[in-house]
Amino acid sequence: MGKILESLKLTIIAGVVLTVVMIFATNAIYDSQMSAPEAAAADIMNNM
């Protein structure tokens, strides 16, 4: 970790990677909080 943080370029790349991870984590949290009817409605909306 120290090696990454010593380099500004690697720090920025790590920040971008974390952002992508955060986007998927946010989506997973939303999905896990959906009730069954909400999940079914979301599936229908996504397939339209």
Partner 1 sequence: MEAELFLIRYLHVLSGIMWIGILWYFNFVQIPSMPKIPDEQKPAIGKVIAPEALFWFRWGAFFTVFFGLALAWRSGYMMDALMLKEPNIGIGMWLGLIMAFNVWFIIWPAQKIALGIVEADASEKPANARKAMLFSRTNTMLSIPMLASMISVQNPIM
**43 contributes a contact to partner 1 by CB under 8 A:** no
Judged by beta carbon, residue 5 or residue 40, the one nearer partner 1 is: 5
* Residues ≥6 apart with Cβ < 8 Å to 41: none
Tokens of 22: 């955060």
- Binding-site string for partner 1 from residue 13 to residue 42, where x marks contact by CB under 8 A and - marks none: -xxx-xx-xxxxxxx-xx--x---------
Binding site for partner 1 (CB under 8 A): 2, 4-6, 8, 11-12, 14-16, 18-19, 21-27, 29-30, 33
